[in-house]
């Protein structure tokens, strides 16, 4: 990635917002298709998308997979309390685990919050007992399993 310009003030106009909304809906749409939908030229769309990437507003274009279709049927959130001197080490080690999707340093009672996708409850049990509890510095782990998803926003926040 090249250098990104620093953001100053409001950098998105209404057209930029429409382009971003279309890309969130269909990241595979060509510049020509986006131009048709928004009544702009392909070149104009290409320049605007390039600018949004250069500014770091669009970080990357990606594919969203269905965990369930790939055998990851258990989605679990973990609240992990870690002794301060082990925090970075534990976070780095957990971040390397294949099943871990996200890990964050948070305020509140638990220092780390982690999201993992696992095959089944046996896989969850094995992960917690063998890969989480064994880390030096972990004081407490709370695990919450998603039973039903009501909303999940891809692409971040709304403009």
In what side-by-side order are the strands of the sheet with 100-105? 100-105, 112-118, 74-82, 138-145
CATH number of the domain to which 23 belongs: 1.10.10
Distance CA 102, CA 97 (A): 10
Are residues 76 and 124 both part of a single domain?
yes
| Structure-token match 């048709």, residue found | 36
> Per the structure, how many domains does the chain have?
2
Secondary-structure percent of the chain, ordered helix, strand, coil, rounded to 5: 40, 20, 45
Token pair 């780095």 is found at: 92
pLDDT in tens, the chain (159 residues): 444 555 555 689 999 999 999 999 899 999 999 999 999 999 999 999 999 999 999 998 888 888 888 889 999 999 999 999 999 999 999 999 999 999 999 998 778 999 999 999 999 999 999 999 999 999 999 999 999 988 887 666 666
83 and 138 share one domain: yes
What 3 state SS string does 118-135 have? ECCHHHHHHHHHHHHCCC
Residues 20, 88 share a domain? no
Give the pLDDT of residue 20.
94
- Amino acid 159: pLDDT: 67
Range of the domain at 32: 14-54
């Amino acid at each position: 990635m090249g250098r990104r310009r620093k953001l100053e003030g409001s950098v998105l106009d209404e057209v930029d917002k429409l382009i971003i909304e279309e890309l969130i809906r269909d990241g595979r749409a060509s510049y020509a298709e986006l131009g048709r939908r928004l009544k702009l030229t392909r070149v104009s769309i290409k320049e605007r998308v390039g600018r949004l990437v250069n500014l770091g507003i669009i970080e990357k274009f990606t594919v969203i997979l269905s965990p369930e279709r790939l055998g990851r049927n258990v989605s679990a959130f973990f609240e992990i309390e870690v002794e301060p001197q082990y925090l970075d080490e534990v976070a780095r080690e957990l971040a390397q685990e294949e099943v871990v999707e996200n890990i964050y340093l948070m305020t509140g009672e638990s220092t780390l919050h982690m999201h993992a996708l696992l095959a089944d409850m046996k896989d969850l049990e094995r992960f917690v007992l063998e890969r989480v509890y064994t880390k030096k510095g972990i004081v407490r782990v709370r695990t919450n399993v998603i039973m039903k998803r009501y909303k999940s926003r891809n692409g971040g926040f709304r403009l």
